[in-house]
Amino acid sequence: MLNFNDSRSKLFFEFVRLLKEIKPKYFLLENVKMKKEWQQIISREL
Q: Which amino acid is at 2?
A: L
pTM greater than 0.85: no
Q: What share of the chain is helix, strand, coil (3-state, %, to 5)?
A: 55, 0, 45
Residue 34 lies in a domain: yes
3-state secondary structure of 28: coil
Residue 1 lies in a domain: no
Parent domain of 27:
7-45
pLDDT in tens, 3-13: 667 777 788 88
Residue 38 lies in a domain: yes
Residue 11 lies in a domain: yes
pLDDT in tens, 11-30: 888 888 999 999 999 988 87
Q: Measured between alpha carbons, how far is 16 from 24 in angstroms, rounded to an integer?
A: 11
Number of domains in the chain: 1
Residue 2 lies in a domain: no
Contact, 41 vs 9, CB < 8 A?
A: no
Residue 39 lies in a domain: yes
Residue 27 lies in a domain: yes
pLDDT band at 43 (very low <50, low <70, confident <90, very high): confident
